[in-house]
Amino acid sequence: MSRTENIYKVKNREINLQKITRLYPAVTVNVSGERAQVSLEWAKMKKDVIDIESYVLVFDIDPLEEVPKNRIELVYETEEELISAINDVAKYL
């Protein structure tokens, strides 16, 4: 990670944090063969009945009144990596 004004540089990507309208953690899960992205909180509550495939930090850049179509997702293998990324982004905000 590096910092240049509000540009978050990570995983060979540059994310302009001034354009972000939503920022949240999520989890990709597998439930009975179906993959879905759910909230981190829900995944923690259901951890006994789901398989977590990955942890995701989601950056939306569409206006709040629109359905998000332009999204950047950073994928992590562990919750600890996700939390570390959240802490890195928080330094910019």
Give SS3 for 3: strand
Rg of the chain over Cα atoms, rounded to whole angstroms, equals 14
- The pLDDT assigned to 2 comes to 47
pLDDT in tens, 11-42: 888 999 999 999 999 999 987 888 999 999 99
Which amino acid, one-letter code, is at 35? R
The β-bridge relationship of strands 2-4 and 51-60 is unpaired
Closest CA to 82 of 4, 6, 10, 7: 10
pLDDT in tens, 42-87: 999 988 888 999 999 999 998 888 888 889 999 999 999 999 999 9
- pTM of whole model > 0.75? yes
Q: Residues 39, 24, 8, CA angle at the centre, nearest 5°?
A: 145
